[in-house]
Structure 1
Amino acid sequence: MGTARANWAFLLGYRFYVAAFFVFLAAPLIAAGSFAFNDSLFPALPWQGFTLDWFFNDTEPKLGMFHDRRLLRGLYYSFVIACGVSALSVFVGTCNAFLFVRTDLPAKNFFYIVMIVPLVIPGVILGISILAMASQFANGLEEAHGIELGFLRPGLPLVVLGQFSFIATITSLVITARLRKFDATMEEAAYNLGASRLRVLTTITLPFLRPAMIAAGIVAFLVSFENFNTTLFLVGSESPLTITMFDRMAKVGSTPVLNAVSFFLMIGSGALALVSVLVQRDRTKV
């Protein structure tokens, strides 16, 4: 009887903990998203009625996010940055995977640890360090040789390089984990049948890595899109969405249009995260 009661109490406590944990995670998101539909000029209670003005209205004071040129411009810049970062990170991550799995690189474990270091460095420190290094290099080159490297000045290219410096680590880890599961005998069989190295790579190895590459690209896109700390120090006049929202909060304060943007991003991020999970499933065995 005592054991049954103990098991029942443990099960009840476990269920309560899981429910409380997910409520803690979801409650702020639900609250932020719900105010995007509140027919009020302020994201606060009481509820004034349901509206879609904060998405589609084209006049002040309820200018919707799809008619707010500054927010749309920030959304565009964030998309451009995230695409560039994800493409670079997947390419370099794939190269790193082959480097760490297929080669006998001297001090390979040391370089593997060095690759992980950017993930544990605070984004603020990383942003300041990259800005200082890029500025010093650009200034020194301009003073010594009169060469101006605009991509080392604050702006979109430097933001891409700054985010790439740590996001490439994430893609490298994801793709490396996939490559470690690859059965190398499949490549050997293809070589024995006369296939070239390039053909084996494009028809056997890369198709096996494709789910991890797609998932890594999606993760890189999401991490880049929502990055704020590092981006804040590297951005120029072309502000991505996170910086635009921060600037709007600092100057105007919180408005429901920012809740509308947040809701839009939550839906988009959730959809991409679901795609990332689905593509990593081994539906076919190579």
Structure 2
Amino acid sequence: MIPSIPQPRGIRFAYGAYVALFFLYMAAPLAVVATFAFNDAQFPGLPWKGFTLDWFFGTERPKIGLIHDRRIVAGFFNSLIIASCVTALSLSVATTTAYLFERHSFRFKELAYMLMLAPLVIPGVILGISILVFSSTIANFASDTLGIEISALRPGMFLVVLGQFSFITTIVTLVLAARLRKFDPALEEAALNLGASPLTVFRTISLPWLRPALIGSGIVSFLISFENFNTTLMLNGSDAPLVITMFDRMKEGSTPVLNAVSLALMLGSGLLGLIGVLVQRDRGGN
């Protein structure tokens, strides 16, 4: 609907109702999860038994709060390590890849670009299985033929990082390439003509221009990695990240502690998203 074009009252009402129902559909499940994180009951649902913070801070069974649940805490730190590694790798590789596609011409450039985009259209489960089969084949060959056991190629945190990196770096590359496309290369050329080294040009001219995109895409990559499930499930080992820990807990029987974890994740994701918005707003004029 275009605001500048007058619309009949019925259409405006229908459009407003559609928008309201859409946001209600999106927010209602989150509100329910957040509410029952404070329910003084052993089951994450009705009836309401009263308000409690035990599912966050409880120390006695059966109300062990999330900060005292060893599996939840271990899963959180595993996810934190994985997301940090994936973010660092994605930003490093995506920066060079964005420069490659935006500043250079080479043979089969279009084919290489399509191959870069391929992980985005492949289902996460298929991507995880493919990486698992490939790595297991190499590990089995090294073990059976060479007598070398490569534990990094077995299911575990390294493969989880590799699997998430394979598609998250593409997302970061697209963001950085879009930012780089708006940059005037003449600024870099002028600095080089004045005697600056390529590293100095990148540090003082290119990097400040890319900084908002780097921060924004870094936050996005961290959140995607932290909350990824499909690919992670296929590559997970004994050090389970948080989403896999929650999935296993659901199979054993859910308790409101999972609601508490979900609420904490919602607040954390919202805070990181707000930081990204503020960074983009502060540097939007650059």
TM-score interval, normalised by the smaller of the two chains: over 0.9
- Does the 8 A contact of 2:34 with 2:259 survive in 1? yes
Kindly provide the CA deviation profile for residues 46-87 of structure 1, in whole angstroms up to 9, marking residues without a partner as x.
221111110001110111001001100000100000000011
Kindly provide the CA deviation profile for residues 2-50 of structure 1, in whole angstroms up to 9, marking residues without a partner as x.
xx99521111111111111000000001101110011111111222111
3-state DSSP of counterpart to 1:280: helix
In structure 1, runs of 5+ residues without a counterpart are none
In structure 2, runs of 5+ residues without a counterpart are none
Paired AA for residue 260 in structure 1: A
- The percentage of counterpart residues that share the same residue type is 59
For residue 237 of structure 1, what is the aligned residue in structure 2?
A: 238
For residue 269 of structure 1, what is the aligned residue in structure 2?
A: 269
Q: How far apart are the structure 1 equivalents of 2:124 and 2:284?
A: 39
For residue 136 of structure 1, what is the aligned residue in structure 2?
A: 137
Q: How does 1:39-58 map to 2 (within 5 A)?
A: 39-58=40-59
For residue 29 of structure 2, what is the aligned residue in structure 1?
A: 28
Deviating more after overlay: 142-151 vs 109-118:
142-151
For residue 170 of structure 2, what is the aligned residue in structure 1?
A: 169
Deviation (angstroms), 1:144: 2.5
**2:209 paired with 1:188:** no
Q: CA RMSD in A?
A: 1.5
- Count matched residues: 282
> What is the TM-score normalised by the length of structure 1?
0.95
For residue 255 of structure 2, what is the aligned residue in structure 1?
A: 255
3-state DSSP of counterpart to 1:13: helix
Kindly provide the CA deviation profile for residues 147-188 of structure 1, in whole angstroms up to 9, marking residues without a partner as x.
222211111111100111111111111111111011111112
Q: How far apart are the structure 2 equivalents of 1:212 and 1:22?
A: 28
Q: How does 1:1-286 map to 2 (within 5 A)?
A: 7-251=8-252, 253-281=253-281, 283=283, 285-286=285-286
Q: How far apart are the structure 2 equivalents of 1:5 and 1:165?
A: 48
Q: How far apart are the structure 2 equivalents of 1:230 and 1:189?
A: 45
Deviation (angstroms), 1:198: 1.0
> What is the TM-score normalised by the length of structure 2?
0.95
Q: How far apart are the structure 2 equivalents of 1:142 and 1:105?
A: 39
- Does the 8 A contact of 1:99 with 1:105 survive in 2? no
- Does the 8 A contact of 2:212 with 2:283 survive in 1? no
Deviating more after overlay: 153-162 vs 141-150:
141-150
Q: How far apart are the structure 1 equivalents of 2:66 and 2:72?
A: 7
